[in-house]
Amino acid sequence: MNKTLVAGIGNLFLGDDGFGPEVVRHLVAGPVPPGVRVVDYGIRGMHLAYDLLDGYDRLILVDALPGGEAPGEIVVLEIGPDDLGPGEFDAHGMNPAAVLGGLSRLGGTLPPTYLVGCRVATVAEGIGLSPPVAAAVPAAVDEVRTLLITGRS
Range of the domain at 11: 4-150
Q: Using CA atoms, how far apart are residues 48 and 129, in angstroms rounded to an integer?
A: 23
What is the CATH number for 87? 3.40.50.1450
**Per-residue pLDDT at 106:** 80
**Per-residue pLDDT at 91:** 52
Q: Using CA atoms, how far apart are residues 62 and 64, in angstroms rounded to an integer?
A: 7
**Per-residue pLDDT at 10:** 93
**Per-residue pLDDT at 31:** 92
Q: Using CA atoms, how far apart are residues 122 and 43, in angstroms rounded to an integer?
A: 17
Helix (H) / strand (E) containing 147: helix 131-150
**Per-residue pLDDT at 44:** 81
**Per-residue pLDDT at 95:** 67
Q: Which residues of the chain have pLDDT under 70?
A: 1, 81-98, 152-153
**Per-residue pLDDT at 87:** 55
Number of domains in the chain: 1
